[in-house]
A and B are shown apart, each in its own frame.
Chain A
Amino acid sequence: MFIKEYISDIYHAVKSLLTGMKTTGGYFIRPGEIITQQYPENRADLNLSERFRGEVVMIHDENNEHACTGCTACELACPNATIKIITKFDVSPDGKKKKALDTFVYHLELCTMCNLCVEACPTDAIKMAQNFEHSVYDRSKLTKKLNQPGSKIREGVE
Protein backbone atom coordinates (compact mmCIF):
# COMPACT_ATOMS: atom_id res chain seq x y z
CA MET A 1 0.00 0.00 0.00
CA PHE A 2 2.78 2.39 0.93
CA ILE A 3 4.71 1.65 -2.25
CA LYS A 4 1.56 2.19 -4.34
CA GLU A 5 1.03 5.64 -2.79
CA TYR A 6 4.70 6.48 -3.22
CA ILE A 7 4.66 5.64 -6.91
CA SER A 8 1.36 7.44 -7.47
CA ASP A 9 2.80 10.58 -5.78
CA ILE A 10 5.80 10.50 -8.08
CA TYR A 11 3.55 10.01 -11.10
CA HIS A 12 1.34 12.99 -10.22
CA ALA A 13 4.34 15.19 -9.41
CA VAL A 14 6.06 14.46 -12.70
CA LYS A 15 2.78 14.88 -14.58
CA SER A 16 2.13 18.32 -13.05
CA LEU A 17 5.64 19.47 -13.90
CA LEU A 18 5.32 18.24 -17.48
CA THR A 19 1.97 20.03 -17.88
CA GLY A 20 3.64 23.30 -16.90
CA MET A 21 6.61 22.69 -19.15
CA LYS A 22 4.28 21.95 -22.06
CA THR A 23 2.83 25.46 -21.68
CA THR A 24 6.17 27.24 -21.63
CA GLY A 25 7.65 24.95 -24.26
CA GLY A 26 4.66 25.62 -26.49
CA TYR A 27 5.54 29.31 -26.71
CA PHE A 28 9.12 28.39 -27.47
CA ILE A 29 8.07 26.70 -30.71
CA ARG A 30 5.34 29.28 -31.55
CA PRO A 31 7.34 32.52 -31.89
CA GLY A 32 4.41 34.14 -33.71
CA GLU A 33 2.65 34.69 -30.39
CA ILE A 34 5.43 36.82 -28.93
CA ILE A 35 4.03 40.22 -28.08
CA THR A 36 7.12 42.09 -26.90
CA GLN A 37 7.49 45.53 -28.43
CA GLN A 38 10.97 46.82 -29.16
CA TYR A 39 10.99 50.37 -27.82
CA PRO A 40 12.61 52.73 -28.91
CA GLU A 41 13.12 50.95 -32.26
CA ASN A 42 9.34 51.12 -32.93
CA ARG A 43 9.00 54.83 -32.14
CA ALA A 44 7.94 55.63 -35.71
CA ASP A 45 4.80 53.49 -35.57
CA LEU A 46 3.84 53.93 -31.92
CA ASN A 47 0.09 54.30 -31.74
CA LEU A 48 -1.00 56.31 -28.74
CA SER A 49 -4.66 56.85 -28.04
CA GLU A 50 -5.91 60.37 -28.71
CA ARG A 51 -6.98 60.61 -25.08
CA PHE A 52 -3.55 59.70 -23.73
CA ARG A 53 -2.38 62.36 -21.26
CA GLY A 54 1.26 63.26 -21.83
CA GLU A 55 1.49 67.02 -21.31
CA VAL A 56 -0.67 70.13 -21.40
CA VAL A 57 -0.50 72.20 -24.58
CA MET A 58 -2.35 75.28 -25.75
CA ILE A 59 -4.25 75.02 -29.00
CA HIS A 60 -3.11 77.58 -31.61
CA ASP A 61 -4.74 77.93 -35.02
CA GLU A 62 -3.01 78.84 -38.30
CA ASN A 63 -3.22 82.60 -37.53
CA ASN A 64 -1.27 82.02 -34.29
CA GLU A 65 -4.40 82.72 -32.25
CA HIS A 66 -5.48 80.90 -29.12
CA ALA A 67 -8.69 80.84 -27.07
CA CYS A 68 -7.28 81.60 -23.60
CA THR A 69 -8.91 84.56 -21.89
CA GLY A 70 -6.69 84.41 -18.80
CA CYS A 71 -9.61 83.57 -16.51
CA THR A 72 -7.37 81.36 -14.24
CA ALA A 73 -9.99 78.59 -14.00
CA CYS A 74 -7.25 76.04 -14.77
CA GLU A 75 -4.92 77.57 -12.20
CA LEU A 76 -7.61 77.18 -9.53
CA ALA A 77 -8.48 73.65 -10.63
CA CYS A 78 -4.89 72.42 -10.51
CA PRO A 79 -4.10 70.49 -7.32
CA ASN A 80 -0.31 70.94 -7.58
CA ALA A 81 0.12 74.61 -8.56
CA THR A 82 1.40 73.45 -11.94
CA ILE A 83 -0.11 76.38 -13.84
CA LYS A 84 0.59 80.06 -13.29
CA ILE A 85 -1.21 82.60 -15.44
CA ILE A 86 0.18 86.10 -15.80
CA THR A 87 -2.29 88.58 -17.23
CA LYS A 88 -1.91 92.03 -18.73
CA PHE A 89 -4.32 94.77 -19.79
CA ASP A 90 -4.87 95.30 -23.50
CA VAL A 91 -5.98 98.78 -24.44
CA SER A 92 -8.42 98.76 -27.35
CA PRO A 93 -8.45 101.66 -29.93
CA ASP A 94 -11.43 103.30 -28.21
CA GLY A 95 -9.51 103.45 -24.91
CA LYS A 96 -11.14 100.51 -23.10
CA LYS A 97 -8.97 98.31 -20.92
CA LYS A 98 -9.40 94.56 -21.30
CA LYS A 99 -7.78 91.74 -19.30
CA ALA A 100 -5.79 89.38 -21.52
CA LEU A 101 -3.26 86.58 -21.24
CA ASP A 102 0.37 87.59 -21.03
CA THR A 103 2.15 84.32 -20.15
CA PHE A 104 0.81 80.83 -19.51
CA VAL A 105 3.49 79.24 -17.31
CA TYR A 106 3.32 75.44 -17.13
CA HIS A 107 5.51 73.50 -14.70
CA LEU A 108 5.78 70.07 -16.27
CA GLU A 109 7.87 68.81 -13.37
CA LEU A 110 4.92 69.32 -10.99
CA CYS A 111 2.20 68.01 -13.32
CA THR A 112 0.49 64.68 -12.57
CA MET A 113 -1.61 64.63 -15.78
CA CYS A 114 -4.90 64.54 -13.87
CA ASN A 115 -6.75 66.43 -16.64
CA LEU A 116 -8.61 68.69 -14.18
CA CYS A 117 -7.34 71.88 -15.89
CA VAL A 118 -8.64 70.76 -19.29
CA GLU A 119 -12.00 69.91 -17.71
CA ALA A 120 -12.15 73.31 -16.01
CA CYS A 121 -11.33 75.42 -19.09
CA PRO A 122 -14.49 77.24 -20.25
CA THR A 123 -13.14 78.05 -23.73
CA ASP A 124 -11.30 74.77 -24.55
CA ALA A 125 -8.05 76.65 -24.91
CA ILE A 126 -5.82 73.86 -23.59
CA LYS A 127 -5.69 70.14 -24.22
CA MET A 128 -3.62 67.08 -23.38
CA ALA A 129 -0.97 66.09 -25.94
CA GLN A 130 0.44 62.61 -26.49
CA ASN A 131 4.16 63.36 -26.13
CA PHE A 132 5.52 61.30 -23.24
CA GLU A 133 9.28 61.57 -23.66
CA HIS A 134 9.99 64.45 -21.32
CA SER A 135 13.52 63.75 -20.12
CA VAL A 136 15.90 66.72 -20.31
CA TYR A 137 19.33 67.43 -18.86
CA ASP A 138 18.33 70.62 -17.06
CA ARG A 139 15.33 70.90 -14.73
CA SER A 140 14.65 74.50 -15.72
CA LYS A 141 13.73 73.30 -19.23
CA LEU A 142 10.62 71.65 -17.77
CA THR A 143 9.07 75.03 -16.99
CA LYS A 144 7.33 75.93 -20.21
CA LYS A 145 5.53 78.90 -21.68
CA LEU A 146 2.49 77.53 -23.45
CA ASN A 147 1.32 80.53 -25.47
CA GLN A 148 3.47 80.95 -28.57
CA PRO A 149 5.40 84.19 -29.04
CA GLY A 150 3.35 86.84 -30.77
CA SER A 151 0.08 84.93 -30.37
CA LYS A 152 -3.11 86.70 -29.41
CA ILE A 153 -6.64 85.78 -28.43
CA ARG A 154 -9.02 84.71 -31.18
CA GLU A 155 -11.76 87.21 -32.10
CA GLY A 156 -15.09 86.56 -30.43
CA VAL A 157 -13.84 84.39 -27.57
CA GLU A 158 -15.08 85.75 -24.25
Chain B
Amino acid sequence: MYTETQIVHNNTKTTVDGALDGTGEMVINVGPQHPATHGVLHLVITLNGETIKKLEPHLGYIHRSIEKMCESLSYRQFIYVTSRMDYLSSHINNHACALTVEKGLQLEIPPRAQVIRVLMDELTRIASHELWWGAMAMDLGAFTPFFYAFRERETITDIMEETCGARLTMNYMVPGGVMYDIHPNFQRRVKDFITLFKSKIDEYNDLVTGNIIFQNRMKGVGKLSAEDAISFGCTGPVARGSGVKSDIRKLFPYEVYDKVEFDEILETEGDSFARYMVRIREMHQSVRIIEQLIDNIPEGDFQAKTKAVLKLPKGEFYTRVETARGELGVYIVSEGGTTPYRIKFRSPGFSNLSALEHMVVGSKLGDLMATMGTLDLVIPDIDR
Protein backbone atom coordinates (compact mmCIF):
# COMPACT_ATOMS: atom_id res chain seq x y z
CA MET B 1 0.00 0.00 0.00
CA TYR B 2 1.18 3.49 -0.85
CA THR B 3 1.01 6.09 1.83
CA GLU B 4 -0.13 9.54 0.91
CA THR B 5 3.37 11.03 1.09
CA GLN B 6 4.78 8.40 -1.25
CA ILE B 7 2.25 9.20 -3.94
CA VAL B 8 3.03 12.91 -3.75
CA HIS B 9 6.74 12.13 -3.86
CA ASN B 10 6.40 9.91 -6.96
CA ASN B 11 4.35 12.46 -8.82
CA THR B 12 6.87 15.20 -8.14
CA LYS B 13 9.65 12.98 -9.39
CA THR B 14 7.94 12.26 -12.71
CA THR B 15 7.32 15.91 -13.36
CA VAL B 16 10.91 16.85 -12.54
CA ASP B 17 12.23 14.04 -14.76
CA GLY B 18 10.03 15.16 -17.59
CA ALA B 19 11.29 18.72 -17.30
CA LEU B 20 14.91 17.60 -17.08
CA ASP B 21 15.01 15.62 -20.33
CA GLY B 22 14.80 18.79 -22.31
CA THR B 23 11.36 18.31 -23.91
CA GLY B 24 9.59 20.62 -21.47
CA GLU B 25 6.61 18.26 -21.40
CA MET B 26 4.28 18.09 -18.46
CA VAL B 27 1.77 15.39 -17.51
CA ILE B 28 -1.54 16.50 -16.05
CA ASN B 29 -4.60 14.55 -15.01
CA VAL B 30 -8.07 15.64 -16.06
CA GLY B 31 -10.44 13.73 -13.84
CA PRO B 32 -11.54 11.33 -12.47
CA GLN B 33 -13.12 14.07 -10.35
CA HIS B 34 -13.40 16.90 -12.82
CA PRO B 35 -16.55 18.91 -13.56
CA ALA B 36 -16.10 18.83 -17.32
CA THR B 37 -15.82 15.06 -17.73
CA HIS B 38 -19.44 14.46 -16.59
CA GLY B 39 -18.47 11.50 -14.50
CA VAL B 40 -15.42 9.51 -13.58
CA LEU B 41 -13.42 9.67 -16.79
CA HIS B 42 -9.68 10.01 -16.24
CA LEU B 43 -7.61 11.60 -19.01
CA VAL B 44 -3.82 11.64 -18.67
CA ILE B 45 -2.62 14.46 -20.88
CA THR B 46 0.96 15.20 -21.90
CA LEU B 47 1.33 18.91 -22.55
CA ASN B 48 4.00 20.96 -24.20
CA GLY B 49 3.19 24.43 -23.01
CA GLU B 50 -0.52 24.58 -23.79
CA THR B 51 -0.42 22.17 -26.73
CA ILE B 52 -1.65 18.62 -26.23
CA LYS B 53 1.03 16.08 -27.20
CA LYS B 54 -0.61 12.90 -26.01
CA LEU B 55 -3.91 11.95 -24.46
CA GLU B 56 -4.63 8.70 -22.73
CA PRO B 57 -8.07 7.86 -21.31
CA HIS B 58 -8.01 5.63 -18.22
CA LEU B 59 -11.23 3.69 -17.88
CA GLY B 60 -12.85 1.49 -15.30
CA TYR B 61 -13.74 3.83 -12.43
CA ILE B 62 -17.44 2.98 -12.70
CA HIS B 63 -17.09 -0.55 -14.06
CA ARG B 64 -19.90 -2.62 -12.54
CA SER B 65 -19.51 -5.74 -14.68
CA ILE B 66 -22.99 -5.38 -16.11
CA GLU B 67 -22.26 -7.96 -18.83
CA LYS B 68 -21.25 -10.53 -16.24
CA MET B 69 -24.21 -9.67 -14.01
CA CYS B 70 -26.58 -10.30 -16.91
CA GLU B 71 -25.31 -13.87 -17.20
CA SER B 72 -26.92 -14.74 -13.87
CA LEU B 73 -30.24 -13.02 -14.60
CA SER B 74 -33.14 -14.37 -16.62
CA TYR B 75 -34.23 -12.89 -19.95
CA ARG B 76 -36.88 -10.78 -18.23
CA GLN B 77 -34.64 -9.62 -15.40
CA PHE B 78 -31.52 -8.53 -17.28
CA ILE B 79 -33.28 -5.70 -19.11
CA TYR B 80 -33.58 -3.46 -16.04
CA VAL B 81 -29.77 -3.47 -15.53
CA THR B 82 -29.19 -2.01 -18.98
CA SER B 83 -31.02 1.19 -17.95
CA ARG B 84 -27.92 1.88 -15.88
CA MET B 85 -25.50 1.75 -18.81
CA ASP B 86 -26.38 4.78 -20.88
CA TYR B 87 -28.75 6.25 -18.34
CA LEU B 88 -29.76 9.14 -20.60
CA SER B 89 -31.23 6.82 -23.21
CA SER B 90 -32.39 4.06 -20.92
CA HIS B 91 -35.54 3.40 -22.96
CA ILE B 92 -33.45 2.73 -26.05
CA ASN B 93 -31.11 0.38 -24.15
CA ASN B 94 -34.10 -1.57 -22.85
CA HIS B 95 -35.51 -1.57 -26.37
CA ALA B 96 -32.34 -3.11 -27.81
CA CYS B 97 -32.38 -5.91 -25.22
CA ALA B 98 -36.08 -6.59 -25.69
CA LEU B 99 -35.56 -6.75 -29.47
CA THR B 100 -32.75 -9.30 -29.10
CA VAL B 101 -34.83 -11.54 -26.84
CA GLU B 102 -37.78 -11.25 -29.23
CA LYS B 103 -35.50 -12.16 -32.15
CA GLY B 104 -34.48 -15.32 -30.30
CA LEU B 105 -38.05 -16.21 -29.41
CA GLN B 106 -39.28 -15.24 -32.92
CA LEU B 107 -42.02 -13.25 -31.27
CA GLU B 108 -44.39 -11.01 -33.21
CA ILE B 109 -44.90 -7.65 -31.49
CA PRO B 110 -48.37 -6.05 -31.59
CA PRO B 111 -48.43 -2.88 -33.75
CA ARG B 112 -49.57 -0.78 -30.78
CA ALA B 113 -46.52 -1.77 -28.76
CA GLN B 114 -44.24 -0.99 -31.71
CA VAL B 115 -45.59 2.54 -32.05
CA ILE B 116 -45.44 3.17 -28.28
CA ARG B 117 -41.83 1.99 -28.24
CA VAL B 118 -40.82 4.30 -31.08
CA LEU B 119 -42.59 7.25 -29.44
CA MET B 120 -40.77 6.60 -26.17
CA ASP B 121 -37.44 6.23 -27.99
CA GLU B 122 -37.81 9.57 -29.73
CA LEU B 123 -38.89 11.34 -26.54
CA THR B 124 -35.82 9.89 -24.86
CA ARG B 125 -33.66 11.09 -27.72
CA ILE B 126 -34.95 14.65 -27.36
CA ALA B 127 -34.44 14.52 -23.58
CA SER B 128 -30.92 13.21 -24.00
CA HIS B 129 -29.96 15.80 -26.61
CA GLU B 130 -31.38 18.57 -24.44
CA LEU B 131 -29.31 17.51 -21.47
CA TRP B 132 -26.28 17.30 -23.74
CA TRP B 133 -26.99 20.81 -25.03
CA GLY B 134 -27.11 22.26 -21.52
CA ALA B 135 -24.02 20.37 -20.35
CA MET B 136 -22.14 21.27 -23.52
CA ALA B 137 -22.76 24.98 -22.99
CA MET B 138 -21.77 24.61 -19.34
CA ASP B 139 -18.45 23.03 -20.38
CA LEU B 140 -17.74 26.21 -22.31
CA GLY B 141 -18.66 28.41 -19.38
CA ALA B 142 -22.28 29.32 -20.09
CA PHE B 143 -24.45 28.50 -17.10
CA THR B 144 -27.94 29.67 -18.13
CA PRO B 145 -28.53 27.22 -21.03
CA PHE B 146 -28.37 24.34 -18.56
CA PHE B 147 -31.52 25.56 -16.83
CA TYR B 148 -33.31 26.25 -20.10
CA ALA B 149 -32.52 22.73 -21.30
CA PHE B 150 -33.71 21.17 -18.06
CA ARG B 151 -36.94 23.14 -18.18
CA GLU B 152 -38.05 21.36 -21.37
CA ARG B 153 -36.47 18.07 -20.32
CA GLU B 154 -38.57 18.19 -17.15
CA THR B 155 -41.72 18.07 -19.30
CA ILE B 156 -40.50 14.84 -20.89
CA THR B 157 -39.53 13.25 -17.57
CA ASP B 158 -43.00 14.14 -16.28
CA ILE B 159 -44.57 12.36 -19.25
CA MET B 160 -42.31 9.36 -18.60
CA GLU B 161 -43.22 9.35 -14.92
CA GLU B 162 -46.91 9.31 -15.72
CA THR B 163 -46.76 6.47 -18.25
CA CYS B 164 -43.74 4.39 -17.19
CA GLY B 165 -43.64 5.01 -13.46
CA ALA B 166 -40.08 6.31 -13.29
CA ARG B 167 -38.17 9.33 -14.49
CA LEU B 168 -34.76 7.99 -15.49
CA THR B 169 -34.49 4.20 -15.24
CA MET B 170 -37.87 3.25 -16.61
CA ASN B 171 -37.67 -0.50 -17.32
CA TYR B 172 -40.74 -0.07 -19.53
CA MET B 173 -39.83 -2.31 -22.44
CA VAL B 174 -40.39 -5.99 -21.74
CA PRO B 175 -39.95 -8.94 -24.13
CA GLY B 176 -43.17 -8.95 -26.13
CA GLY B 177 -44.12 -5.30 -25.89
CA VAL B 178 -44.32 -2.68 -23.17
CA MET B 179 -45.06 -3.09 -19.47
CA TYR B 180 -48.30 -1.08 -19.29
CA ASP B 181 -50.54 0.64 -21.76
CA ILE B 182 -49.98 4.38 -22.21
CA HIS B 183 -51.56 6.71 -19.69
CA PRO B 184 -54.84 8.35 -20.83
CA ASN B 185 -53.11 11.76 -20.65
CA PHE B 186 -50.13 10.63 -22.70
CA GLN B 187 -51.21 11.86 -26.14
CA ARG B 188 -52.42 15.24 -24.89
CA ARG B 189 -49.27 15.88 -22.89
CA VAL B 190 -46.95 14.88 -25.71
CA LYS B 191 -48.78 17.28 -28.05
CA ASP B 192 -48.46 20.03 -25.44
CA PHE B 193 -44.77 19.28 -25.21
CA ILE B 194 -44.27 19.51 -28.97
CA THR B 195 -45.98 22.92 -29.05
CA LEU B 196 -43.81 24.09 -26.15
CA PHE B 197 -40.64 22.65 -27.64
CA LYS B 198 -41.16 24.31 -31.02
CA SER B 199 -41.54 27.69 -29.38
CA LYS B 200 -38.42 27.21 -27.24
CA ILE B 201 -35.99 25.80 -29.81
CA ASP B 202 -35.52 29.28 -31.31
CA GLU B 203 -34.45 30.42 -27.89
CA TYR B 204 -31.70 27.78 -27.92
CA ASN B 205 -30.42 29.10 -31.23
CA ASP B 206 -30.55 32.74 -30.10
CA LEU B 207 -28.78 31.97 -26.87
CA VAL B 208 -26.03 29.55 -27.91
CA THR B 209 -25.91 28.61 -31.61
CA GLY B 210 -25.74 32.17 -32.91
CA ASN B 211 -23.39 33.38 -30.18
CA ILE B 212 -20.13 34.59 -31.70
CA ILE B 213 -17.95 33.42 -28.80
CA PHE B 214 -19.49 29.95 -28.98
CA GLN B 215 -19.00 29.73 -32.74
CA ASN B 216 -15.38 30.83 -32.56
CA ARG B 217 -14.64 28.19 -29.96
CA MET B 218 -16.41 25.41 -31.86
CA LYS B 219 -15.60 25.97 -35.53
CA GLY B 220 -12.50 24.21 -36.82
CA VAL B 221 -11.92 22.49 -33.47
CA GLY B 222 -11.62 18.73 -33.05
CA LYS B 223 -11.61 17.84 -36.73
CA LEU B 224 -12.44 14.25 -37.60
CA SER B 225 -12.41 13.17 -41.24
CA ALA B 226 -14.91 10.70 -42.61
CA GLU B 227 -12.22 8.02 -43.11
CA ASP B 228 -11.03 8.40 -39.51
CA ALA B 229 -14.60 8.30 -38.21
CA ILE B 230 -15.08 4.96 -39.95
CA SER B 231 -11.73 3.52 -38.84
CA PHE B 232 -12.32 4.47 -35.18
CA GLY B 233 -15.80 2.92 -35.34
CA CYS B 234 -17.56 6.17 -34.51
CA THR B 235 -21.33 6.08 -34.80
CA GLY B 236 -24.23 8.39 -34.14
CA PRO B 237 -23.93 12.18 -34.30
CA VAL B 238 -20.11 11.97 -34.14
CA ALA B 239 -19.94 10.01 -37.40
CA ARG B 240 -22.76 11.99 -39.01
CA GLY B 241 -20.94 15.23 -38.18
CA SER B 242 -18.15 13.93 -40.43
CA GLY B 243 -20.56 13.02 -43.21
CA VAL B 244 -20.72 9.26 -42.59
CA LYS B 245 -24.15 7.73 -43.06
CA SER B 246 -24.60 5.70 -39.89
CA ASP B 247 -28.20 6.05 -38.75
CA ILE B 248 -29.34 2.52 -37.81
CA ARG B 249 -32.95 3.71 -38.06
CA LYS B 250 -32.36 4.26 -41.79
CA LEU B 251 -29.83 1.51 -42.57
CA PHE B 252 -31.41 -1.37 -40.63
CA PRO B 253 -34.95 -0.18 -39.78
CA TYR B 254 -36.57 -1.79 -36.74
CA GLU B 255 -40.13 -1.44 -35.41
CA VAL B 256 -41.95 1.22 -37.47
CA TYR B 257 -38.98 3.36 -38.50
CA ASP B 258 -39.36 2.26 -42.13
CA LYS B 259 -42.94 3.59 -42.18
CA VAL B 260 -42.29 7.10 -40.83
CA GLU B 261 -40.72 9.96 -42.74
CA PHE B 262 -37.59 11.54 -41.36
CA ASP B 263 -34.22 12.67 -42.66
CA GLU B 264 -30.83 11.40 -41.68
CA ILE B 265 -28.91 14.51 -40.63
CA LEU B 266 -25.48 14.81 -42.21
CA GLU B 267 -22.90 17.56 -41.81
CA THR B 268 -19.65 17.41 -43.72
CA GLU B 269 -17.23 19.69 -41.81
CA GLY B 270 -16.35 17.13 -39.13
CA ASP B 271 -15.56 19.76 -36.50
CA SER B 272 -17.21 20.37 -33.13
CA PHE B 273 -19.74 22.79 -34.58
CA ALA B 274 -20.86 20.20 -37.16
CA ARG B 275 -21.49 17.65 -34.41
CA TYR B 276 -23.36 20.31 -32.46
CA MET B 277 -25.58 21.14 -35.43
CA VAL B 278 -26.29 17.43 -36.09
CA ARG B 279 -27.79 17.06 -32.61
CA ILE B 280 -29.77 20.30 -32.80
CA ARG B 281 -31.25 19.26 -36.16
CA GLU B 282 -31.87 15.71 -34.95
CA MET B 283 -34.20 17.04 -32.28
CA HIS B 284 -36.36 18.51 -35.06
CA GLN B 285 -36.43 15.12 -36.81
CA SER B 286 -37.46 13.39 -33.59
CA VAL B 287 -40.32 15.89 -33.23
CA ARG B 288 -41.29 15.08 -36.83
CA ILE B 289 -41.44 11.33 -36.05
CA ILE B 290 -43.51 11.94 -32.90
CA GLU B 291 -45.93 14.18 -34.80
CA GLN B 292 -46.55 11.45 -37.38
CA LEU B 293 -47.19 8.75 -34.80
CA ILE B 294 -48.89 10.45 -31.87
CA ASP B 295 -52.35 10.51 -33.48
CA ASN B 296 -51.91 7.13 -35.18
CA ILE B 297 -51.36 4.76 -32.28
CA PRO B 298 -53.16 1.59 -33.44
CA GLU B 299 -55.68 -0.08 -31.16
CA GLY B 300 -54.94 -3.52 -29.79
CA ASP B 301 -52.72 -5.28 -27.28
CA PHE B 302 -49.73 -3.53 -25.84
CA GLN B 303 -47.97 -6.79 -25.02
CA ALA B 304 -47.74 -10.11 -26.84
CA LYS B 305 -48.57 -13.27 -24.93
CA THR B 306 -45.37 -14.81 -23.62
CA LYS B 307 -44.57 -17.78 -21.43
CA ALA B 308 -43.83 -17.17 -17.75
CA VAL B 309 -40.27 -18.48 -18.16
CA LEU B 310 -38.50 -17.41 -21.31
CA LYS B 311 -36.02 -19.80 -22.91
CA LEU B 312 -34.01 -18.76 -25.94
CA PRO B 313 -33.06 -21.52 -28.40
CA LYS B 314 -29.40 -22.45 -28.68
CA GLY B 315 -27.60 -19.94 -30.84
CA GLU B 316 -26.30 -16.40 -31.18
CA PHE B 317 -28.47 -13.31 -31.55
CA TYR B 318 -27.46 -9.75 -32.38
CA THR B 319 -29.53 -6.62 -32.80
CA ARG B 320 -28.60 -3.00 -33.07
CA VAL B 321 -30.49 0.18 -32.40
CA GLU B 322 -29.72 3.86 -32.68
CA THR B 323 -29.40 5.41 -29.24
CA ALA B 324 -28.92 9.14 -28.72
CA ARG B 325 -25.15 8.53 -28.87
CA GLY B 326 -24.87 6.06 -31.72
CA GLU B 327 -25.13 2.39 -32.43
CA LEU B 328 -25.86 0.10 -29.50
CA GLY B 329 -25.45 -3.58 -30.29
CA VAL B 330 -26.65 -6.37 -28.04
CA TYR B 331 -25.12 -9.79 -28.61
CA ILE B 332 -26.53 -12.79 -26.76
CA VAL B 333 -25.10 -16.29 -26.84
CA SER B 334 -27.66 -18.80 -25.61
CA GLU B 335 -27.10 -22.40 -24.60
CA GLY B 336 -30.84 -23.02 -24.55
CA GLY B 337 -31.33 -22.25 -20.87
CA THR B 338 -33.22 -19.59 -18.97
CA THR B 339 -30.17 -17.34 -18.56
CA PRO B 340 -27.81 -16.11 -21.29
CA TYR B 341 -24.45 -17.85 -21.64
CA ARG B 342 -22.75 -14.59 -22.63
CA ILE B 343 -23.91 -11.04 -23.26
CA LYS B 344 -21.87 -8.39 -25.02
CA PHE B 345 -22.91 -4.78 -25.43
CA ARG B 346 -21.36 -2.78 -28.22
CA SER B 347 -21.67 0.66 -26.72
CA PRO B 348 -21.38 3.85 -28.79
CA GLY B 349 -19.51 5.85 -26.13
CA PHE B 350 -16.48 3.56 -26.08
CA SER B 351 -15.78 3.87 -29.81
CA ASN B 352 -16.45 7.60 -29.83
CA LEU B 353 -14.02 8.13 -26.94
CA SER B 354 -11.30 6.22 -28.80
CA ALA B 355 -11.32 8.94 -31.46
CA LEU B 356 -10.72 11.69 -28.89
CA GLU B 357 -6.92 11.51 -28.91
CA HIS B 358 -6.82 11.75 -32.69
CA MET B 359 -9.09 14.79 -32.58
CA VAL B 360 -7.27 16.86 -29.96
CA VAL B 361 -3.55 16.10 -30.40
CA GLY B 362 -1.86 19.27 -31.59
CA SER B 363 -4.60 21.60 -30.37
CA LYS B 364 -4.73 23.71 -27.23
CA LEU B 365 -5.88 22.44 -23.85
CA GLY B 366 -8.91 24.74 -23.93
CA ASP B 367 -10.14 23.05 -27.10
CA LEU B 368 -10.23 19.69 -25.32
CA MET B 369 -13.45 20.60 -23.51
CA ALA B 370 -15.03 21.96 -26.69
CA THR B 371 -14.24 18.65 -28.41
CA MET B 372 -15.10 16.29 -25.57
CA GLY B 373 -18.42 18.03 -24.99
CA THR B 374 -19.57 17.29 -28.52
CA LEU B 375 -18.72 13.59 -28.16
CA ASP B 376 -21.58 13.42 -25.61
CA LEU B 377 -19.87 10.87 -23.39
CA VAL B 378 -21.79 9.00 -20.72
CA ILE B 379 -19.17 7.25 -18.62
CA PRO B 380 -21.22 4.24 -17.37
CA ASP B 381 -21.88 3.51 -21.04
CA ILE B 382 -18.12 3.30 -21.66
CA ASP B 383 -17.19 1.31 -18.54
CA ARG B 384 -20.42 -0.70 -18.19
Partner-B contacts on A (CB < 8 A):
12-13, 16-17, 19-20, 22-24, 35, 48-49, 51-53, 77-79, 112-116, 119, 128
| Chain B, Cβ-Cβ closest to A12 | B212
CB-based contact A16/B211 at 8 Å: yes
Residues of B within 8 A of A128 (CB): 165
CB-based contact B161/A52 at 8 Å: yes
With A77-B77, A79-B81, A114-B171 known, 20 other A-B pairs at CB within 8 A are A13-B212, A17-B213, A20-B206, A20-B207, A20-B208, A20-B210, A24-B144, A49-B161, A49-B162, A49-B183, A52-B165, A52-B166, A53-B165, A79-B78, A112-B80, A113-B166, A115-B165, A116-B77, A116-B80, A119-B174
| C-alpha spacing A45/B78, complex, angstroms | 36
Q: How far is the CB of B65 from chain A (nearest CB, A)?
A: 14
Instruction: Name A23's contact: one of B73, B161, B174, B203 (CB within 8 Å).
Output: B203
Residues of A within 8 A of B371 (CB): none
CB-based contact B77/A51 at 8 Å: no
Instruction: Name A35's contact: one of B77, B154, B213 (CB within 8 Å).
Output: B154
| C-alpha spacing A107/B1, complex, angstroms | 36
Interface residues in B186-206 by Cβ distance below 8 A to A read: 203, 206
CB-based contact B180/A51 at 8 Å: yes
CB-based contact A17/B77 at 8 Å: no
Residues of A within 8 A of B179 (CB): 115, 119
B49-92 CB mask vs A (1 if < 8 Å, else 0) is: 00000000000000000000000010011101100000000000
| C-alpha spacing A78/B72, complex, angstroms | 12
* B356 interfacial contact with A, CB 8 Å: no
* B278 interfacial contact with A, CB 8 Å: no
Interface residues in B137-180 by Cβ distance below 8 A to A read: 144, 151, 154, 161-166, 169, 171, 174, 179-180
Residues of A within 8 A of B73 (CB): 79
| Chain B, Cβ-Cβ closest to A22 | B206
CB-based contact A112/B77 at 8 Å: no
Instruction: Name B212's contact: one of A17, A35, A53, A113 (CB within 8 Å).
Output: A17
CB-based contact A51/B171 at 8 Å: no
| Chain A, Cβ-Cβ closest to B76 | A116
Residues of A within 8 A of B78 (CB): 79
CB-based contact B211/A17 at 8 Å: yes
Q: Give me the 7 closest cross-chain CB pairs, A-B, nearest first.
A: A79-B77, A114-B80, A13-B212, A51-B165, A49-B162, A53-B165, A16-B212
| C-alpha spacing A35/B151, complex, angstroms | 8
Q: How far is the CB of B11 from chain A (nearest CB, A)?
A: 38
Q: How far is the CB of A88 from chain B (nearest CB, A)?
A: 25
Residues of A within 8 A of B206 (CB): 19-20, 22-23
| Chain A, Cβ-Cβ closest to B215 | A16
Decide: A51 near B211, CB < 8 A? Known: A22-B206, A35-B154, A116-B77: no
Residues of B within 8 A of A35 (CB): 151, 154
| C-alpha spacing A8/B162, complex, angstroms | 51
Residues of A within 8 A of B165 (CB): 49, 51-53, 113, 115, 128
Greatest chain B CB density within 10 A among A12, A49, A52 is at A49
Q: How far is the CB of B346 from chain A (nearest CB, A)?
A: 23
| C-alpha spacing A19/B161, complex, angstroms | 35
| C-alpha spacing A49/B184, complex, angstroms | 12
| C-alpha spacing A16/B209, complex, angstroms | 9
| Chain A, Cβ-Cβ closest to B166 | A53
| C-alpha spacing A16/B212, complex, angstroms | 6
Residues of B within 8 A of A52 (CB): 161, 165-166
Residues of B within 8 A of A24 (CB): 144, 207
CB-based contact B169/A112 at 8 Å: yes
